[in-house]
Structure 1
């Protein structure tokens, strides 16, 4: 096998072409087209608040003009630290209309995480939620931030929800008083003052940088994957070809995946704008709210992570909700258990399919077919114009079907490289082929399987967690001598974080104390859920802690429990 033969194409349905034509346009063109063709169709439904496509484009233009008036220029990085909300969509597209570069930031980040991302990207403007403003102000002195634009959930809630939300925030103490000045601005006030005149920065080509999406990648600490306008346009059009029964201006998509994650950004936000589909926004995962939204607004597509579907099928009142509007769900970010797939499909009558992607690939490269034959426990087939192969991790030799090695992918959705990291880019990108760091195999039909992670990344609830980052926080505790963090199987999150601790002689610390210590320094999903205190950790002959031994020990414990 030469590595470029696409044996999977024989399984493509007639409706899905092997090759697509990709126009040389910015990703913002999709919004202009949707507003032109479906001006009065709902673009967004947010907890009862509705915005049509013409209204959305109007507000995007206003915010783009507001950013321009503040001095934001082409190529500058604009951080967006927001949950799923109309403001997140408006800030994203407004930034891109200006020719500036979006830097997506998880609102759950703590100081160290936020500081690293802002400094590394050179972000000068940030659009953030009022609740996270204290964290932003804390890191402001050590970053290049010049402008902070603040908004709140209540800003886009309909009356009386906006009033009740503000009242509840005051009562429970989560209300944040914002003092506006020359560099701290109100999102709502900026919109009101700005004009909705079209803004279209000089667009040179699809190679124009659109996004810095941070990831640990396949080698260590978080770095910015440089995604271009072409990358984003391509992945949207590939998704449209794959879900060929989707019709422009007809569908509704449940937006439960966070848009600050590349998966939600592409398969929900950008894809919905491309198809002029209504996005039913979910600010955070709440299974009660999601069931109510499905029951009320009847979405046809529901991209998600396995933990979301697990949460829904195990809801005690699931039988009281009508989920029959769901036609298809693309599951990503973590392996999808077969039993979860089968139960969810039985509940909805729709299809739940596993796919695969990476931040570095914008993100989707593989998926099972939506309306045709599916092989269980696979990530499916490569998408149009996408090559994939399995190679020997040591020699790079392309392996035959059935042989196990490292998955490599190649296609027009693959990133430009890592921001300011040419050496790390060279390590993972060679001749257009991206080394994913995942170990897998391809069968004789061209279906791909992921067997294990080459690196030690933990994927819990769809979020990537890097053990080294958690370990560094644990090492800051004065009682800890050694710490090693691994992912252990979890029936709900896929994996959960377990920390193995060796205490300094004469020191004592409880699990509760460590939990509080970590929660003050890490996003909640990164905090260890399990702790085990040991006298020593397994090490190699050169003193390196052997995480794999710890993982194997955990597997043995699970097997013994099951017997």
Structure 2
């Protein structure tokens, strides 16, 4: 994709009189009068409104919005001094540390287009992403630099690297103790860096730069981020997100929570900022609302999450079902006071009813399930916080968003209430298209609608239910089985902690249903007992014919269960058996 806009035209869209609008909470508008604030305007706006309020907490380091903005301006000037121009692409490959926030908004203020890169990526994945995005500059963590980047610089496009150390902004005594502790970890998380030849250390570079304002006129419809998808169907593609896409989505999220107290909320940022969920619902919404961001680098570190919630009195918690489930089962959690949490936003995967109910009882909070994609900045649907909330459904289209269900084989045929088909969405948060993929964009954004690839249905109230991905659907003798439905039933069993279902080849049925099961600690079950339980809750053709017990399920960096990895294992196993 070039810099032309393949996205949808919102000028003539009527957001009134949709069936779901009557279920919006009081104070949530059907259409928002958006402020025209590009991403490089977020920090100046926050300083004007919340300058002396705490902006960011990381271990024993705290910054006010004024202090954070000072570092963002210095970062922008440092980037300019290294040759970054408007439209340059800058990669950021960092965990959730202060430098990630500074680098992102510093790059935006310098006029750059940001490419968020997963710190867990292999060399092959990094090489593809940075080459495809044409990145000439990259922020990386020191341990990534030592292990992956420095030994392979000749294979990678960027010529200029800015290397950050996790302890850079910690205060005494952690700034002295942390390097030793991190260097002893396996794998280690601290490394010394030799500067020169296009290699700079983050803190000296930024702190030594000017904090003068930068003259830059980059508009709302310019590219802000190339957000690469997970690559579940091959090499990942870059979703082109404009300043308008990301700014409007932050404002849509903010409008959905009319009781949020600007300048006084505490948002737990444990979802990785390189993922669009963490980027928008964590960082960008926090800055828009003047919330204090509590950064946690590793979402799998449940003790750190629980400590952060209780110590900092977290009020807002964007998360995924696996995180809520893990906290529910954290030893001694019932004795802790977690009642500061008011509102939780769950996405990425369906949240089982028992997980939701237990967490809400534990914290006295409300979890609202929503839906989004990298391609939609990400949020398009969410349940009302106070009104009608339908557990097991992703809610209603949010302000300024339209959605419909069409036949999965014929997108010109719109389906009615209760019918299952492909979900299409339209709104200001929908991407401009995939980077360098004009042929795909013509289909994905056909008619101004984002074709999500998700199979869904809409009920009479305008609430949507995701029944599965088109590519995940299991075809058993011509009958459709949706893995999410099977997993939801299995996880309601009191002995089952997690479940993941896939389709595997079957000579007689074409495909058959296989479920991978993780049991709760101390529990035992046999495949026969699981089949008997499933038979009581599922139609016969949906019952798992194969059961495999695992110690843990493969998960992404945002704790999303990776069915594709389970499918790959099965393919490899079958291939090995065939030889």
Using the size of structure 2 for normalisation, the TM-score is: 0.79
Alignment of 1:388-537 (within 5 A): 388-396=403-411, 397-456=413-472, 488-489=515-516, 531=569
8 Å CA contact retained: 2:321, 2:349:
yes
Q: Which residue of 1 aligns with 2:248?
A: 234
Q: Say yes or no: does 1:38 pair with 2:53.
A: no
Runs of 4+ in 1 over 3 A off after TM superposition: 2-5, 169-173, 216-220, 456-460, 486-493, 523-539
Q: Which residue of 2 aligns with 1:215?
A: 229
SS of structure 1 residue aligned to 2:424: strand
Q: Which residue of 1 aligns with 2:170?
A: 157
- Matches of 1:281 and 1:216 in 2, distance apart? 23
Q: Which residue of 2 aligns with 1:14?
A: 26
Q: Which residue of 2 aligns with 1:555?
A: none
8 Å CA contact retained: 2:163, 2:201:
yes
Deviation (angstroms), 1:440: 0.8
Q: Which residue of 1 aligns with 2:334?
A: 319
SS of structure 2 residue aligned to 1:79: strand
SS of structure 2 residue aligned to 1:7: coil
Q: In the alignment, which of 377, 383, 391 is matched to residue 392 of structure 2?
A: 377
Deviation (angstroms), 1:492: 9.1
Q: Which residue of 2 aligns with 1:277?
A: 291
Deviation (angstroms), 1:38: 1.9
8 Å CA contact retained: 1:80, 1:88:
yes
Q: Which residue of 2 aligns with 1:332?
A: 347
Deviation (angstroms), 1:489: 5.0
Q: After superposing the two structures, state which structure 1 stretch, 320-329 or 23-32, moved more.
A: 23-32
Alignment of 1:57-456 (within 5 A): 57-133=69-145, 134-172=147-185, 174=188, 175-203=190-218, 205-216=219-230, 220-285=234-299, 286-396=301-411, 397-456=413-472
Does the C-alpha gap of structure 1 residues 392 and 354 become closer, same or farther in structure 2, counting only changes over 3 Å? same
8 Å CA contact retained: 2:109, 2:214:
yes
Deviation (angstroms), 1:297: 0.8
- Matches of 1:291 and 1:145 in 2, distance apart? 38
Over residues 341-369 of structure 1, what are the superposed CA-to-partner deviations in whole Å (9 max), with x where a residue is unaligned? 10000001110111000000000000000
Unaligned runs of 5+ in 2: 1-12, 474-482, 488-499, 503-510, 521-555
Does the C-alpha gap of structure 1 residues 170 and 257 become closer, same or farther in structure 2, counting only changes over 3 Å? closer
Deviation (angstroms), 1:56: 0.3
SS of structure 2 residue aligned to 1:354: strand
Unaligned runs of 5+ in 1: 468-483, 494-518, 540-563
Deviation (angstroms), 1:221: 2.7
Deviation (angstroms), 1:536: 6.0
Does the C-alpha gap of structure 1 residues 52 and 455 become closer, same or farther in structure 2, counting only changes over 3 Å? same
Does the C-alpha gap of structure 1 residues 528 and 392 become closer, same or farther in structure 2, counting only changes over 3 Å? closer
8 Å CA contact retained: 1:354, 1:367:
yes
Deviation (angstroms), 1:537: 9.6
Deviation (angstroms), 1:23: 2.5
Deviation (angstroms), 1:176: 2.0
- Matches of 1:161 and 1:529 in 2, distance apart? 43
Does the C-alpha gap of structure 1 residues 534 and 172 become closer, same or farther in structure 2, counting only changes over 3 Å? closer
- Matches of 1:293 and 1:3 in 2, distance apart? 43
SS of structure 1 residue aligned to 2:273: coil
8 Å CA contact retained: 1:218, 1:436:
no
Aligned residues: 488
Q: In the alignment, which of 66, 71, 79 is matched to residue 54 of structure 1?
A: 66
8 Å CA contact retained: 2:89, 2:135:
yes
Does the C-alpha gap of structure 1 residues 534 and 260 become closer, same or farther in structure 2, counting only changes over 3 Å? closer
8 Å CA contact retained: 1:217, 1:359:
no
8 Å CA contact retained: 2:71, 2:207:
no
8 Å CA contact retained: 1:310, 1:492:
no
Over residues 234-266 of structure 1, what are the superposed CA-to-partner deviations in whole Å (9 max), with x where a residue is unaligned? 101111110110021111101111100000000
- Matches of 1:345 and 1:281 in 2, distance apart? 22
Deviation (angstroms), 1:162: 1.8
RMSD, aligned CA:
3.0
8 Å CA contact retained: 1:75, 1:101:
yes
Over residues 464-514 of structure 1, what are the superposed CA-to-partner deviations in whole Å (9 max), with x where a residue is unaligned? x9x9xxxxxxxxxxxxxxxx9x99555699xxxxxxxxxxxxxxxxxxxxx
SS of structure 2 residue aligned to 1:431: helix
8 Å CA contact retained: 1:31, 1:273:
yes
8 Å CA contact retained: 2:76, 2:106:
yes
